[in-house]
Structure 1
Amino acid sequence: MSAKILAIDTATEACSVALLVGDKLYSRSEVAPRDHTKKILPMVDEVLKEAGLTLQELDALAFGRGPGSFTGVRIGIGIAQGLAFGADLPMIGVSTLAAMAQGAYRTQGATHVACAIDARMSEVYWGRYVRQADGSWQTVDEECVIPPQALADNIAADAQTWATVGTGWDAYPQELATLPLTIQSSEVLYPQAQDMVILAKQAFEQGHTVAVEDSSPVYLRDTVAWKKLPGRE
């Protein structure tokens, strides 16, 4: 039987929800940087009603685990944990950077993607990915938070054309122009739940789920603290 997976994301300025039922996708998305807490649950209700399902009928709940806005990531995982706990669902954390790579493939068929999200404080959240034949994404540059001008010293030139995704390219155009890469811009600025749910399906089929109490965000910055659920060390 085909998996039924709900994905939610509030890690950046965008707020999105997607429900995958077999090959059928139901999704909602809106750029609403200050209204995530108001938007996300109504979006969840809408896609469930459209599909004629309840939370308890799903197989897993996926969430944007970061990196991204500290507040946004925290909102997303908190809501996801609440929903999953109430419906007794396993959870799947999906990288926001990998989700944007999937978005570039969905919108323009890109198979080599360079992701840069504006991380403020003169830094970007960075990662590079190459799509494999089975639809998974191989990590070329591990996701990190780094000053954009420092990337040029850490990246080797190659013969590929890299699709650029994320807000970092517009935020730091001069610094990122020094990278020894051939790039092609895309329209993907933010991660989307409709791309996360595709990656979540792959993880689900491989048995890569976690219990609610073991789900965790990825902030990349060591200076932020996450208040863990009761009983966690």
Structure 2
Amino acid sequence: MPVSTLAGLAQGCYRRLQSARVAVALDARMQEVYWGAYQVDANAVMRLAGEERCCAPAEVNLEESGWCACGSGWDAYSSDLKAACNGLLEQFDEEPHCHAQDIATLAVTLLREDGGVPAEQAMPVYLRNQVAHVKA
């Protein structure tokens, strides 16, 4: 089952802090973050609200209040991310790691809903294809 690291972090934040809305930002280097906003469903599973993406910290967006911030991007780009979120954050999760139990929770849900994919079709998904800075 393909499970996003961003989703795993959001699920862990919900497990630890009962945060129904989690804004995950991971430091993607090169002045960017891997970004995803998640909301908990009726079955206590975090669901993506919008899309995961790689962007500049100033380009993230949230529309409503009540979000918990999670991930290494909040340490690396704190002022830019907080400014972009415009006062909509209520809590910060200090846990920097994704845990296997949270990935498993999401994987079981996806397996029940979608039936999974054959092993030979399981491929990583990269939010950014360019992984090195090229000098002009």
Q: Distance in 2 between matches of 1:211 and 1:157?
A: 37
Q: Distance in 1 between matches of 2:50 and 2:23?
A: 9
| Structure 2 residue aligned with 1:192 | 99
Q: 1:176 to 1:107 in 2, by over 3 A?
A: same
Q: Conserved in 1, the CA contact under 8 Å of 2:69 and 2:89? A: no
Match of 2:67 among 152, 162, 166: 162
- Aligned structure 1 segments of 4 or more residues deviating by more than 6 angstroms: none
Match of 2:12 among 103, 119, 125: 103
Q: Distance in 1 between matches of 2:62 and 2:109?
A: 30
Higher RCO, Cα 8 Å, sep 6+: 2
Identity of aligned residues (%): 40
Read off the aligned partner of 1:197 and give its amino acid letter: A
Q: Distance in 2 between matches of 1:150 and 1:126?
A: 10
Read off the aligned partner of 1:142 and give its amino acid letter: E
The structure that is strand-richer by fraction is 1
CA RMSD across the alignment = 1.5
| Structure 1 residue aligned with 2:119 | 212
Q: Distance in 1 between matches of 2:114 and 2:36?
A: 24
Q: Distance in 1 between matches of 2:62 and 2:108?
A: 32
The higher radius of gyration belongs to 1
Matched, 1:139 2:48: yes
TM-score by length of 2: 0.87
Read off the aligned partner of 1:132 and give its amino acid letter: D
1:220: Cα distance to partner? 0.9
Stretches of structure 1 lacking an aligned partner (at least 5 in a row) = 1-91, 225-233
Q: Distance in 1 between matches of 2:76 and 2:102?
A: 24
